[in-house]
Chains A and B, each alone.
Chain A
């Protein structure tokens, strides 16, 4: 599902984290989730540099709060939630967005479809409120089950399904599987 190149790069770099001073437990816990975190950030921000920065910042925040995490916590949900918050913060801060976009217009666009229907869908997803956009990205860009979508959103699985359903309605997309019980 996830690009192998992204996975290997992310895990390798995190493994080099801070040399001997790193908390190996933190590395072991977070490294497997980095590819999903990068994918989530890219789905939300649509800019590779911005996504790198968001995951970087989220990793710092996760590092600092790792000691307070309960042993039985779901690491993926916890870390993706931090990444999602970071992305949300960045999208809301227009001033920094301006600075970053202005600095990085040399960036080559990621490969993607540019026919009318793809462009329409991309624009429509961009217009979604952040919580709906996050739900759509988690479900359809990261392939997460509703249980895991709910963990990141901080809601139950049925509530996550309902949120995805509302986002699909906003996108004028009718997905029968989600309509059932939403």
Chain B
């Protein structure tokens, strides 16, 4: 299609639309702008427990040996526990996330909680996951309405932050409160509060890490909180896992934070997706030591492009942004890809859909549904 620049500009503006009026950025403007629905509220969207279906026996037992695509191991050094010999086959908890661009231009998103059987790669939705997915607690055998980052290290509880006073919008809030919810009893316990904008960061064996920034602006302070006693100690800025400080990755100007697991291991994607450009997926352990999980060239045949991960006794499980695979990385074997089949069909009437199987819990021994 040959067009002049000004013609393409008009076409693009027509396609994307003009931005609607937006409230301007503030550090604290209670009188200005409409109250906003705070995104953290949505972290408390309850997962509705559905009827657990007992389904028929499925096909023959799978081999005990993975048969995915093997790639060379990355740089040695990460502290990833080796998988027990009898831990395969297993079923990996995932949120199947599907985004579709509809005729009206709104992005329609659906989440289906379920399991990918490893090593066969077959996906099965779990009716008990409800309509919003969440994170699967193998310890409780239950889906919890939380992101994997907010899960306790033993996967029996999760944390969230609410605004104070209760029911306040962000523009009205005077503080933030950290809650811990028992996954088994759903008892909600208020653990700690601060007269600042409190953001949950992660929950590791060292405690719950939050940031507190004065509503009026100023220095952000990190706090490490004991989830049992609520005792808080100030953490150094270097405790913030968003910061990537590892040397040895020259020429990299972009990075994305993929998450932190309960052992304090953080994964970053370094580089862009421009075809032909170098990129790295890097694991940084709690001591700051970096391990290259994968280094490649965007558009290469491996096509390893993760958005998130979940670490368990097998290693680190990653999604692939095109929804084609899940990956297992271990220090000894490197990356193993498992092609996923059985995804729900894309919704009809959409020209573009994006899908991914985001790891949302451990890979539990056995297959799903159980024979």
Interface residues of A (CB under 8 A from B): 3, 5-6, 9-14, 16-19, 21-22, 34, 37-39, 42-43, 46-49, 51-53, 55-56, 58-60, 63-64, 85, 88-89, 92-105, 107-114, 117-123, 125-127, 129-132, 136, 140-141, 143, 154, 163, 166, 168, 172-178
Contact = CB atoms under 8 A, between A and B. Distances in A.
A55 B19 CA distance: 13
B105 A122 contact: yes
Given A95-B308, A131-B274, A88 B27 contact: no
A176 B107 contact: no
B97 interface: yes
A101 B217 CA distance: 28
B298 A129 contact: yes
Given A92-B256, A112-B18, A9 B24 contact: yes
Given A97-B99, A101-B109, A10 B22 contact: yes
A132 to B, nearest CB: 7
11 contacts: A9-B23, A13-B24, A47-B107, A88-B254, A100-B39, A109-B104, A109-B106, A118-B14, A122-B105, A132-B274, A175-B3
Contacts of B254: 85, 88, 131
B19 A112 contact: no
B249 interface: no
Contact of B26 (A14, A99, A112): A14
Given A11-B24, A85-B254, A174-B2, 5 more contacts: A17-B26, A21-B217, A89-B256, A99-B43, A110-B18
B37 interface: yes
B6 to A, nearest CB: 9
B253 interface: yes
Interface in B1-35: 1-5, 8-9, 11-29, 31-33
Contacts of A140: 5, 8-9, 12-13
B163 interface: no
B101 A123 contact: yes
Contacts of B28: 17-19
B105 A46 contact: yes
A165 to B, nearest CB: 12
Contact of A178 (B5, B12, B15, B257): B5
Given A55-B25, A118-B11, A18 B217 contact: yes
Given A53-B39, A175-B3, A129 B27 contact: no
B171 to A, nearest CB: 11
A117 B3 CA distance: 14
Interface stretch (B62-70, B184-192, B351-359): B351-359
A6 B19 CA distance: 8
Contacts of A127: 352
Contacts of A110: 17-20, 105
Given A99-B39, A110-B17, A176-B2, A121 B12 contact: yes
Interface string B107-148: 101010000000000000000000011000000000000010
Contacts of A114: 103-105
Contact of A94 (B41, B97, B105, B275): B97
B273 interface: yes
Contacts of B24: 9-14, 34, 38, 55
Contact of B27 (A63, A109, A166): A63
A172 B105 CA distance: 21
Contacts of A37: 25
Most A CB contacts (10 A, CB to CB) among B99, B104, B105, B358 go to B105
Most A CB contacts (10 A, CB to CB) among B27, B28, B133 go to B27
Nearest to A120: B351
B8 A173 contact: yes
Contacts of B269: 92
Contacts of B1: 172-174
* Interchain residue pairs A-B with the least CB separation, the first 6: A112-B17, A13-B24, A129-B273, A59-B25, A10-B24, A42-B19
A118 B25 contact: no
Given A63-B217, A136-B12, A154-B253, A6 B26 contact: no
Given A99-B42, A112-B17, A175 B26 contact: no
Contact of B107 (A38, A46, A93, A121): A46
B13 A141 contact: yes
B36 interface: yes
A16 B205 CA distance: 42
Nearest to A38: B22
B45 interface: yes
B22 A131 contact: no
